[in-house]
Amino acid sequence: MGEKDNVENMVKNWFTETAQVEWRRLGRDPYHNIEFTVTTHFLERFLPKRGLVLDAGGGPGRYTIELAKKGYRITLLDLVPEMLKLARRRIRRAGVSRKVDKIVQGSIEDLSCFSDETFDAVLCLGGPLCHLLNIEQREEAASELLRVAKKGAPLFISVISRLGLLITLLTQFPHEIQYAMHHWEVGDYVPGKQGEGFTAAHWFLPEELQTLFENKGAEKITFAGLEGLSSHHRKETNRLYKDSESGKIWTEILLRTCTHPSVVGISEHFLLVCRKATRERPNLC
């Protein structure tokens, strides 16, 4: 078995075992909910009023359900059958099955089951792109996500930050600090080689994600740090949100500051909102 298949199996096993955890992740506490709040803010701002949306790497379907409730038609794709099983149940329970056109098992590297320019918007949220360890695979995924988007359609891509990961290493994994330079310089993590506690992943720098998509024909709209100024302050954030007035003020601050370049890179996750160019550009890669 090659390195690529090995990584894919690791990723599949991890997300099969953590499907239930993944469903709860964004609603677990006020700190985790910020990622959902900020992402949803940008979806509301840049999605077209209606249309067909691809939720690629959509997992158990948090965003699929949210957008289906708002009237969008959704196609959900994920690598892991267990995630899709859970998503089917959650979609049924939420009463939005009518809005979900298709639920498809597959990888963002190969979207050949969809024709060119099928979708009015494309989501790839919560880091699916991080689980492709070769640059060629990430380039293929960026090409595919753009290929299936209509011209001018927005794409919403969120990933795990490389700088944010280094702060996580300091605060939660100080016993793995010997791998810090590898994380910084290479940006790849393979469990067993660079520590334990997560599945195989690539950590992104904002400029790296931007270049990946611009080289395939996207135009950047904005970046946003998803945990923003709360990043790595889980306890303090959860304490603040016990008082609803304080929580409201802080949410407003997070939304105002999340696009600041100093905030984007140090956030645990950041979001790139871009648009498929309306005119053909030469493929630079």
Ligand X SMILES: C[S@@+](CC[C@H](N)C(=O)[O-])C[C@H]1O[C@@H](n2cnc3c(N)ncnc32)[C@H](O)[C@@H]1O
Q: Where on the chain is the footprint of ligand X (CB under 6 A)?
A: 11, 15, 22, 26, 57-59, 62, 78-80, 83, 107-109, 125-128, 131-132
What string of DSSP letters covers 190-202? -TTTS-SSS-SEE
- Smallest distance, Å, CB 74 to ligand X? 12
What's the full length of the chain, in residues?
A: 285
- Smallest distance, Å, CB 127 to ligand X? 5
Q: Is 205 helix (H, G, I), strand (E, B) or coil?
A: coil
Distance between CA atoms of residues 133 and 127, nearest Å: 12
What are the CA-CA distances from residue 250 to residues 18, 26, 240, 262 (Å)? 30, 18, 8, 18
- Smallest distance, Å, CB 81 to ligand X? 9
* Residue placing its CB nearer to ligand X in the complex, 79 or 146: 79
* Residue placing its CB nearer to ligand X in the complex, 114 or 253: 114
* Residue placing its CB nearer to ligand X in the complex, 83 or 266: 83
* Residue placing its CB nearer to ligand X in the complex, 137 or 237: 137
Distance, CA of 15 to chain centre:
14
* Residue placing its CB nearer to ligand X in the complex, 127 or 217: 127
- Smallest distance, Å, CB 255 to ligand X? 18
Under a CB-based contact definition with an 8 Å cutoff, are residues 158 and 169 in contact?
A: no
Can you list the positions of beta strands (E) in 57-92? 73-78
- Smallest distance, Å, CB 160 to ligand X? 9
Residue number of the CB closest to ligand X reads 126
